[in-house]
Amino acid sequence: DAGVIQSPRHEVTEMGQEVTLRCKPISGHNSLFWYRQTMMRGLELLIYFNNNVPIDDSGMPEDRFSAKMPNASFSTLKIQPSEPRDSAVYFCASSLDRSGNIQYFGAGTRLSVL
Amino acid sequence: TQLLEQSPQFLSIQEGENLTVYCNSSSVFSSLQWYRQEPGEGPVLLVTVVTGGEVKKLKRLTFQFGDARKDSSLHITAAQPGDTGLYLCAGAGWGKLQFGAGTQVVVTP
């Protein structure tokens, strides 16, 4: 299995631009998680889905952030408009079971907002 | 405020030395996990501990879960440069994981 696949690996954009991050979970996994990692705040859970349905989005920082999971094999995290403080590494993870106890992470997308 | 507190934040040791990393919380978790993250990569699961007092060994790594399921430790014996990385503990509950801030371990030859 190819594991969790994220794209792009690196994104550099200017403040105010729209950014879309993409994730393909491991086939057969029914839970998907979006995280953000920074030096200051560590690894933070933004939102997670179970069977393509958003379950908990309490970690989404602002209305500028939105996430979708149109099918079991694809999810997006969108930031519009982007701000410099959004600069971070964004990880997607998937889990086989609803408990989400064992998660497999992608390699992440490093976002820089200038 | 981190729900899980890890200590120390940074640890630098020589190859062959032993080290211990701690993870503490005031909350009880159904299970606790340890991950290792290398630069430019996502965290990779090392172990899951479920039962209070449980001890698991993975080659030179020993993981222990506290009796009250609120704390855990990771001990590495005879550390090697390949053990270098960010070690993260995560508590499981309510369908999601809560991560600690991590301990950066550097093992120099």
- Which is it for strands B71-76 and B61-65: parallel, antiparallel or unpaired? antiparallel
CA-nearest of B47, B34, B105, B3 to A45 is: B3
Tokens at residue B105, please? 């371990």
**Residue A100: which region, alpha, beta or left (left: phi > 0; alpha: psi -120 to 50)?**
left
Is A67 within 8 Å of A25 (Cβ atoms)? no
In the predicted model, what is the mean pLDDT of residues A53-71?
A: 93
Mean of pLDDT values over B8-31? 93
Compute the nearest-CA separation of A92 from chain B (Å).
9
pLDDT given for residue A88 in this prediction: 97
Tens digits of per-residue pLDDT, A19-35? 999 999 999 999 999 99
From chain B, pick out residues whose CB is under 8 angstroms from the CB of A46.
Answer: none
A38 in helix, strand or coil? strand
- Cβ neighbours of B97 in A, within 8 Å: 33, 45, 100-101, 103
**Is pLDDT at B94 greater than 80 in this prediction?**
no
Task: Please give the structure tokens belonging to residue B31.
Answer: 């299970």
Q: Is B99 on the interface with A (CB under 8 A)?
A: yes
The Cα-based distances of B83 to A11, B36, B40, B76, B108 in angstroms read: 29, 9, 16, 9, 10
Helix (H, G, I), strand (E, B) or coil at A85: helix
Q: Tell me what pLDDT residue B1 has.
A: 53
- Name B28's Cβ contacts closer than 8 Å, sequence gap at least 6: B68, B69, B70
Q: Is the pLDDT of residue A47 over 70?
A: yes
User: Are the C-beta atoms of residues A25 and A113 closer than 8 Å to each other?
Assistant: no
| pLDDT at res. A98 | 67
How close is the nearest chain A Cα to the Cα of B64, in Å?
A: 18
Contact (Cβ atoms closer than 8 angstroms) between residue A15 and residue A84: yes
Report whether pLDDT(B10) > 90: yes
Are residues A4 and B42, on separate chains, in Cβ contact within 8 Å? yes
In chain A, the residue whose alpha carbon lies closest to the alpha carbon of B99 is A43
B33 part of contact set with chain A, CB < 8 Å? yes
Q: Residue A100: pLDDT band by 50, 70, 90 thresholds?
A: low
Cα separation, A47 vs A92, in Å, equals 10
